[in-house]
């Protein structure tokens, strides 16, 4: 299939449909509106359900109902709307329901602005709603990856019965880049998907089994039962940490004097700066977490070569991933941070200047 020039918001929607998503509930918000609009246009064409909910809160609870019915379902929003969804995401995690949530981040706190930001890292990676839980969080840095992550997110959600978040930002949502899509699921594959959760989800009791009674529930009134449930969740999360941690290394070598850590949009800008400095003969590596939860702690640790005198973290926030990097670095080398907030995206020139200063 040839490449199509497409906005990230539309690409992730198209990829979700191709991955077998036939249910989508959401509420409009900038800068993710192209996503909801694309779904409004395309879902009826594939016999799917598009529903514009009365609120973000309703949308995520519709997701809860559809996920509890065992079907691939997605919602999307931008930062303020994701905050509203957090209650529902806690319920989804508690009830162990698979679903995909896309966050096209914008500047905060509060209503903030509508420009790209990475200020929801804490919320996304540390649970976000109430109680002890985690969600898998995938952080794309290109339109192609944004699209590819839709199918990956659904696969992970189904495999582990857990909500999966794709943590993008206004730049990835609004930007157009060439994108190549996977072939859509075949009718046979769709049929398989449709019944994959029938052992536990809400579904017709076709053979009239008197014992058929599936409960979709996050309530456990007995403290000992709830304790076991939470421990079971964390046993599952341990498996996810072990098997599903993803990252990319760029220019990482034993000659590195500086190791940069950046995720999502930030990592692209840092790459630009590294390329320019590389041409000037400076050795700087970049490690980019692709899953920001589970966090690639070991990989960051290993990427610190013998000559690295500083680890430099760049984010479009005030240093939210910084904590995770510090945990990985274990105080072995200094960790520096520079970020921009307010929806301002730093430029390659600014990053370059910060990195150049390290060599002086």
Partner 1 sequence: MKAELICAGFGGQGVLTIGKFIAKAGMKEGKNVSWLPSYGPEMRGGTANVSTVVSDEPIASPIVSFPDILVALNQPSIDKFGPSVRENGVLIINSNMCPHGCKRTDVQIISAPMSDIAAEIGSPMVLNMIAIGIIIGKTGLIKYETMEEDLTSFMKAKNPELLEKNLIAIKRGIELGKQ
Partner 2 sequence: MEIIAKRPESLTKTPFTYCPGCLHGVAHRLVAEAIEEFGLTNHMTGVAPVGCSVFAYKFFNFDMAQAAHGRAPAVATGMKRARPDMHVFTYQGDGDLAAIGTAEIVHAANRGEHISVFFVNNAIYGMTGGQMAPTTLPNMKTTTSPYGRNTDDIGHPIRVSELLATLVAPYYIERVSLLSPADILKAKKAVSKAIQYNKEGRGFTFVELISTCPTNWGIDPIKSRDWAKENMLPFFKVGCLRDKGEGVE
Span near partner 1 by CB under 8 A; candidates 198-206, 236-244, 267-275, 317-325: 267-275
Q: Which residue has 């498996």 as its token pair? A: 239
Rg (CA), the chain: 21
In whole angstroms, what separates CA 108 from the centre of its chain? 18
Q: Which residue has 């209650």 as its token pair? A: 87
Among 102, 166, 269, 321, binds partner 1 (CB under 8 A): 269
Contact call for residues 154 and 72 (beta carbons, < 8 A): yes
Our CB check for partner 2 shows the closer of 23 and 299 to be 23
Span near partner 2 by CB under 8 A; candidates 10-18, 216-224, 238-246, 323-331: 216-224
Residues 16-35, interacting with partner 2 (CB under 8 A): 23, 25
185 binds partner 1 (CB under 8 A): no
- For the bound state, the minimum distance from the C-beta of residue 204 to partner 1, rounded and expressed in Å, comes to 45
Q: Give 33-37 contacts, CB < 8 A, sequence gap 24+.
A: 33/9, 34/7, 34/9, 34/10, 34/173, 34/174, 35/9, 35/10, 35/76, 35/102, 35/104, 35/173, 36/76
Among 33, 58, 245, 249, binds partner 2 (CB under 8 A): 58
70 Ramachandran zone, left/alpha/beta (phi>0; psi -120 to 50): left
What is the pattern of x (binds partner 1, CB under 8 A) and - over residues 78-117? ------------------------------------xx--
CA–CA gap between residue 103 and residue 139 (Å, rounded)? 10
176 binds partner 1 (CB under 8 A): yes
Binding residues for partner 2 (CB under 8 A): 23, 25, 49, 51, 53-55, 57-59, 61-71, 73, 87-88, 91, 201-206, 208, 210, 212-219
Binding residues for partner 1 (CB under 8 A): 3, 5, 30-31, 114-115, 170-171, 174-178, 268-269, 271-272, 275, 345, 347-349
């Amino acid at each position: 299939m040839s490449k199509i020039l497409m906005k990230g918001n539309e690409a992730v929607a198209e990829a979700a449909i191709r991955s077998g998503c036939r249910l989508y509930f959401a509420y409009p918000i900038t800068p993710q509106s192209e996503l909801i609009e694309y779904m409004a246009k395309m879902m009826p064409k594939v016999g799917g359900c598009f529903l514009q909910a009365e609120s973000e809160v309703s949308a995520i609870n519709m997701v809860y109902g559809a996920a509890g019915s065992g079907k691939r379902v997605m919602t999307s929003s931008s930062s303020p709307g994701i905050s509203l969804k957090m209650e529902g995401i806690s319920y989804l995690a508690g009830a162990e329901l698979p679903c995909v949530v896309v966050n096209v981040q914008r500047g905060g706190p509060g209503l903030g602005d509508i420009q790209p930001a990475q200020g929801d890292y804490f919320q996304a990676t540390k649970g976000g709603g109430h109680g002890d839980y985690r969600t898998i969080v995938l952080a794309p840095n290109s339109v192609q990856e944004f699209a590819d992550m839709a199918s990956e997110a659904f696969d992970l959600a189904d495999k582990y019965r857990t909500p999966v978040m794709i943590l993008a930002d206004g730049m990835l949502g609004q930007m157009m880049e060439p994108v190549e899509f996977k072939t859509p699921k075949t009718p046979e594959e769709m049929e398989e998907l449709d019944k994959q959760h029938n052992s536990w989800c809400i579904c017709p009791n076709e053979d009239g089994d008197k014992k058929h009674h599936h409960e979709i529930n996050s309530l456990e009134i007995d403290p000992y039962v709830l304790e076991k449930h939470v421990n079971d969740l964390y046993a599952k999360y341990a498996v996810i940490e072990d098997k599903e941690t993803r990252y990319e290394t760029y220019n990482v070598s034993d000659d590195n004097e500086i190791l940069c850590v950046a995720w999502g949009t930030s990592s692209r800008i840092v790459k630009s700066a590294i390329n320019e400095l590389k041409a000037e003969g400076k050795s700087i590596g970049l490690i980019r977490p692709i899953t920001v939860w589970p966090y690639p702690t070991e990989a960051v640790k290993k990427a610190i070569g013998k000559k690295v005198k500083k680890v430099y973290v760049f984010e479009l926030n005030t240093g939210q991933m910084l904590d995770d990097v510090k945990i990985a670095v274990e105080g072995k080398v200094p960790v520096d941070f520079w970020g921009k907030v307010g929806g301002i995206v730093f430029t390659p020139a600014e990053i370059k200047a910060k990195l150049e200063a390290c060599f002086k």
